[in-house]
Amino acid sequence: MASIWVGHRGTVRDYPGFSASVDAEAIRKAIRGIGTDEKTLISILTERSNAQRQLIAKEYQAAYGKGTGTNEDTLIEILTTRTSKQMKEIGQAYYTVYKKSLGDEISSETSGDFRKALLILAHGRRDESLKVDEQLAKKDAQILYSAGENRWGTDEDTFTDILCLRSFPQLKLTFDEYRNISQKDIEDSIKGELSGHFEDLLLAIVHCARNTPAFLAKRLHQALKGAGTDEFTLNRIMVSRSEIDLLDIREEFKKQYGYSLHSAIKSDTSGDYEITLIKICGGDD
């Protein structure tokens, strides 16, 4: 089935960018804060091109060197930007490698509304049809308004259900209707009504529904800015989007920050690592 999330705006085509097992490993690291055993690493590396192997080896060293902790941002990024089909593949890869279901793992390491929403996303239940329904958008917008702004307290489950199950094009329309009804942007309502990682997750969904490349450009910028470089995030996004929408991400990066992703990588990395990333980046803007 065609999906709007798997586009034709990639920079490399000679090897697959998306890998369920690499995502599974990233989730494992994000949840458990540990690296994987060597056997796992080898099985992952055999699927990759030489350039990708170099990046993963680099990331692997970085993870061991620093000893990463539970990283909600990584979980949120992967679970909001992968298609339902990809999430199912990631779940299978997770089970194959770690002998545990991804759902059980998320359940044991997270809690509350954040957990509930992550589980829906992990099970790949989001509608991915391209058709939008204007009446449904009006109805959902009203339901969201009644669940948050227009009541004392918040009905969190309603926010979770609509934002985790509806398609991105449908959500875009719903957010437009929401503004008409509430005179407020859905982002402002989420900031006012929700909190913590749950708030972060739903804001990420809103950003992705509106513009996934812009969301990932922001993540890349965060990974590159400041004194150090978050190689784990940088490598993951560059590789996983290299055949999907890296050209759009580059465009959004330039638009938001005034300089190119290419120049940001050049000024923040060096040696073989820089050469590899620049190759995947595919050009300057």
Task: In angstroms, give the least distance from the CB of 153 to Ca ion.
Answer: 6
Task: In angstroms, give the least distance from the CB of 160 to Ca ion.
Answer: 15
**DSSP output for 132-177:** --HHHHHHHHHHHHHHTTTSSS--HHHHHHHHHHS-HHHHHHHHHH
For residues 91 and 148, which CB has a smaller minimum distance to Ca ion in the complex? Answer: 148
Cβ 275 vs Cβ 238: under 8 Å: no
For residues 17 and 148, which CB has a smaller minimum distance to Ca ion in the complex? Answer: 148
Task: In angstroms, give the least distance from the CB of 244 to Ca ion.
Answer: 37
For residues 39 and 152, which CB has a smaller minimum distance to Ca ion in the complex? Answer: 152
Q: For residues 140 and 133, what is the distance between their CA atoms, to the nearest angstrom?
A: 11
Q: Could you give the angle at which helices 84-98 and 102-109 cross, rounded to 10 degrees?
A: 90
Task: In angstroms, give the least distance from the CB of 136 to Ca ion.
Answer: 23
Task: In angstroms, give the least distance from the CB of 140 to Ca ion.
Answer: 17
For residues 175 and 253, which CB has a smaller minimum distance to Ca ion in the complex? Answer: 175
Total binding residues toward Ca ion, as defined by CB under 5 A:
1
Task: In angstroms, give the least distance from the CB of 185 to Ca ion.
Answer: 15
Q: For residues 285 and 215, what is the distance between their CA atoms, to the nearest angstrom?
A: 18
Q: For residues 134 and 227, what is the distance between their CA atoms, to the nearest angstrom?
A: 47
Task: In angstroms, give the least distance from the CB of 154 to Ca ion.
Answer: 5
**Helices of type H across the chain:** 20-32, 38-45, 50-66, 72-81, 84-98, 102-109, 112-122, 134-147, 156-165, 168-182, 186-193, 196-224, 231-240, 246-257, 261-268, 271-281
For residues 44 and 194, which CB has a smaller minimum distance to Ca ion in the complex? Answer: 194
For residues 159 and 215, which CB has a smaller minimum distance to Ca ion in the complex? Answer: 159
For residues 10 and 148, which CB has a smaller minimum distance to Ca ion in the complex? Answer: 148
For residues 148 and 213, which CB has a smaller minimum distance to Ca ion in the complex? Answer: 148
Residues 134-173 that bind Ca ion (CB under 5 A): 148
Task: In angstroms, give the least distance from the CB of 158 to Ca ion.
Answer: 11
Helix or strand (DSSP H, E) at 78? helix 72-81
Residues 46-75 that bind Ca ion (CB under 5 A): none
- Cα separations (Å) of 191 from 54, 165, 203? 40, 20, 8
Q: For residues 173 and 225, what is the distance between their CA atoms, to the nearest angstrom?
A: 33
Buried (b) or exposed (e) across 56-84, using 16+ Cβ within 10 A? Answer: bebbbebbeeeebeebbbbbbbbbbbbbb
Which residues make up the interface to Ca ion (CB under 5 A)?
Answer: 148
